[in-house]
Amino acid sequence: MTSVITGDIVNSRKAEAEKWLKLLKGALNEIGSSPKSWEIYRGDSFQAEVSDPSKALQHAINIKATIKQAKGIDVRISIGIGEKDLNAPTISESNGNAFIRSGEAYEQLSKIKQNMVVKSGETNFDEEINLYLRLLLIAMDNWTQKSAEYVRLSLKGELKQEEVAKRLGISQSSVSERHKRAYLDEVRTVEKRYRERLKKMGR
């Protein structure tokens, strides 16, 4: 069992490619090494394999927070969960229903007008998690650069607010305000629920 993230950068032409590409590569490198674990193709599209499906949503949220640190751009992401039939030297050559589901979900993003979606083949799981994501995206799609920076740092190593404040060079009261504006508690609640539901399905 594995998971595959497929995505692309929204409004990529409106920002300096060098800046967002560096950000994207940094987030993808936290998943694994290229081209075995991830690849960027067609300029602003990418695919990554997260071998532990329970960590896929966390990585997807991390990618979104990372990209939104660049002004004026966003990211669309699909997560496919399932089997891996061929373990090739590059992710583009690997296949299995995790890859197929990720691709199918990615193709639906424009139609459903949602920037993040999960497809596991389990209808109840998909409906529940995608409902949560639709609601969560009301906040995530509107993260400011500062909110995205805060989320990115907060998700990395579960730092305490005091540590985040020190790294960002701001007061703890400012950190608390960013925490609320980013709806980080809700983000963590949904990510936790995703992991719990996967565990119940034996994934």
* Both tokens assigned to 185: 């508690």
State the average pLDDT for the chain.
Answer: 94
Query: DSSP per residue over 73-117, as a string?
Result: -EEEEEEEEE---B--SSTTT-BSHHHHHHHHHHHHHHHHT-SEE
CA distance 151 to 138: 15
Residue 119 carries which DSSP code?
Answer: E
Q: Report the relative pairing of strands 74-82 and 116-119 from DSSP bridges.
A: parallel
Query: DSSP per residue over 6-64, as a string?
Result: EEEEETGGGS-HHHHHHHHHHHHHTT--TTTTEEEETTTEEEEEESSGGGHHHHHHHHH
* Both tokens assigned to 80: 């496919």
Q: Assess whether pLDDT exceeds 80 at residue 203.
A: no
Q: Assess whether pLDDT exceeds 90 at residue 158.
A: no
Residue 2 carries which DSSP code?
Answer: E
Q: Assess whether pLDDT exceeds 90 at residue 186.
A: yes
* Residue range 159-179, pLDDT digits in tens: 777 888 888 888 888 988 999
* Residue range 47-106, pLDDT digits in tens: 999 999 999 999 999 999 999 999 999 999 999 999 999 899 999 999 999 999 999 999
Q: What is the pTM of this model?
A: 0.94
Q: Assess whether pLDDT exceeds 90 at residue 185.
A: yes
**pLDDT recorded at residue 16:** 83
Q: How many CB atoms lie within 10 A of CB 131?
A: 11
